[in-house]
């Protein structure tokens, strides 16, 4: 699957990162991480070990809004990098196939 990247205005990227910082301070986010469970791997890692992941990454046109952010562990966030959901699902499928072999 070819990667698609549309140019993102640096000023817009800066605004979205600032919105993400504000969102991390909100009570809504604190309630989201309270369970301490990664959205992707479902492992309990503790609230302090969770990071904010943009489902559609900022660099791929995503926004810092409640519907586009999930708590996830550092490992999953690092692996996902700038993948959109369909690419992430394909990646996880390939990992599962490798484990079956």
Structure tokens at 10: 């640096």
**Pair 40, 72: CB distance under 8 Å:** yes
Predicted structure pTM score? 0.86
What's the pLDDT score for residue 101? Answer: 73
Angle at 73 between CA 71 and CA 78, to 5 degrees: 110
- Please name each of the domains of the chain with its CATH number: 10-100 (1.10.30.50)
pLDDT tens digits in sequence order for the chain, 101 residues long: 456 667 889 999 999 999 999 999 999 999 999 999 999 999 999 999 999 999 999 999 999 999 999 999 999 999 999 999 999 999 999 988 888 77
């Amino acid at each position: 699957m070819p990667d698609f990247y549309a140019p993102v205005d640096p000023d817009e990227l800066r605004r979205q990162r600032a919105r993400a910082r504000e969102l991390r301070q909100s009570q809504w986010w604190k309630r989201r991480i309270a369970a301490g469970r990664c959205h992707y791997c479902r492992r309990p890692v503790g609230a302090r070990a969770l990071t904010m992941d943009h489902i559609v990454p900022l660099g791929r046109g995503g926004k810092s809004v409640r519907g586009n952010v999930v708590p996830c562990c550092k490992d999953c966030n690092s692996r996902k990098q700038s993948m959109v959901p369909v690419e992430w699902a394909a990646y996880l499928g390939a990992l599962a196939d490798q484990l079956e072999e």
